[in-house]
């Protein structure tokens, strides 16, 4: 089975590396030419930054066998159609990414979104039948410090969840292959194939990941702090818990029951315990890379759903507006002494 990772930045490279490490036949498609060139020539330097007994250890692998392309047209010319295309762009880029990827998409190609946030399934359904759609997300910290080198910082417990939007022969075949390759590659992955309303339905896990990201990504981005630093402060912890309670209330109203107290005690605590020394992806986007964030498909979407359902979401609403203002004003932000001494 041939996979394509469409969008091979930090998260896409990490997700692809676990698959490749587990034996997958996979191509990478990304406009980052220097990264694609280095991976094609030297392989992917894949680092797993793993917490063990309170200390972090790095495990390094040099993964070869990737074929890389900077466009779907170039990939299609060399590879033809793929069996599964995995989208790992920003959520806001997904509609255009789907259109741009069509040269490698055939009549039986399964489309898979492992992108954080809400509404990605709806974007897939506009182009693909549900019988050819897989959705999911990973619970992994990811970084791309330089071309050809990606870093995974796994949280404790489950690291990847995915499942078909509906059960079908094509979706099941892709999920089975992904499960094998991810687990063989060292990623604690799970195929969620249950019916809606059951404990093993993928939408339950989509909402759990949204709750994690809307909490730590957004609050850390606004406060400019690592996860553990926020959690150690009573005001920061109050913000974390406020987002969790709002998200759980909205998810429950949308048909995915979630208990906020249970989430705080278990899921949130796992994140704090295992990746405390980490700036989440939105924090990296806002502080270091000055990029468009995923706020609109995280807290922004939660606030939007809350308004539709009559559920108050004051934390999500205010945090959304702050992040939107930040990302609209990267060039205007005060940089303190750095700005003064580097005029």
pLDDT tens for each residue of 25-38:
999 999 999 999 99
The whole-number pLDDT of residue 131 equals 97
Map out the domains of the chain with their CATH numbers.
Answer: 2-191 (3.40.50.720), 204-329 (1.10.1040.10)
Q: Which of 170, 149, 174, 162 is nearest to 204 (CA)?
A: 162
The whole-number pLDDT of residue 308 equals 96
Tell me how far apart the alpha carbons of residues 21 and 11 are, in angstroms, rounded to a whole number.
Answer: 15
Regions in the chain scoring below 50 on pLDDT: 338-343
The whole-number pLDDT of residue 339 equals 44
- SS3 at position 84: strand
Tell me how far apart the alpha carbons of residues 105 and 76 are, in angstroms, rounded to a whole number.
Answer: 9
The whole-number pLDDT of residue 342 equals 46
The whole-number pLDDT of residue 54 equals 74
The whole-number pLDDT of residue 201 equals 85
Tell me how far apart the alpha carbons of residues 331 and 340 are, in angstroms, rounded to a whole number.
Answer: 15
């Amino acid at each position: 089975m041939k996979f394509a990772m469409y969008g091979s930045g930090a998260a896409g490279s990490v997700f692809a590396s676990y698959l490749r490490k587990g034996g997958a036949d996979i191509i990478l498609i990304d406009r980052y030419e220097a990264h694609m060139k280095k991976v094609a020539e030297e392989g992917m330097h894949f680092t797993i930054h793993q917490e063990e007994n309170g200390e972090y250890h790095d495990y390094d692998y040099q993964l070869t066998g990737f074929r890389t392309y900077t466009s779907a047209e170039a990939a299609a010319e060399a590879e033809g159609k793929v069996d599964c295309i995995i989208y790992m762009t920003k959520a806001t880029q997904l509609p255009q990414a789907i259109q741009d990827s069509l040269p490698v998409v055939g009549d039986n190609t399964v489309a898979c979104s492992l992108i954080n946030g809400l509404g990605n399934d709806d974007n897939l359904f506009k182009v693909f039948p549900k019988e050819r759609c897989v959705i999911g997300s990973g619970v992994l910290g990811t970084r791309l410090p330089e071309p050809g080198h990606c870093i995974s910082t796994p949280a404790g417990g489950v690291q990847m969840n995915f499942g078909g939007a509906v059960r079908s022969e094509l979706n099941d075949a892709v999920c089975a292959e992904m499960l094998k390759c991810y687990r063989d590659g060292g990623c604690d992955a799970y195929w969620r194939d249950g019916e809606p309303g059951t404990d093993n339905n993928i939408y339950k896990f989509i909402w759990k990941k949204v709750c994690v990201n809307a909490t730590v990504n957004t609050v850390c981005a606004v406060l400019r702090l690592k996860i553990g630093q926020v959690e150690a402060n009573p005001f920061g912890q109050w913000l974390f818990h406020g987002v969790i309670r709002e998200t759980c209330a909205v998810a429950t109203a949308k048909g995915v029951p979630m208990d906020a107290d249970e989430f705080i005690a278990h899921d949130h605590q796992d994140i704090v315990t295992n990746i405390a020394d980490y700036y989440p992806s939105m924090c990296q986007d806002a502080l270091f890379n000055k990029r468009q964030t995923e706020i609109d498909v995280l807290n922004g979407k939660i606030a939007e759903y809350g308004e539709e359902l009559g559920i108050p979401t004051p934390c999500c609403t205010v945090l959304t507006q702050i992040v939107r203002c930040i990302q609209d004003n990267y060039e205007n932000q005060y940089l303190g002494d750095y700005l003064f001494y580097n005029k």
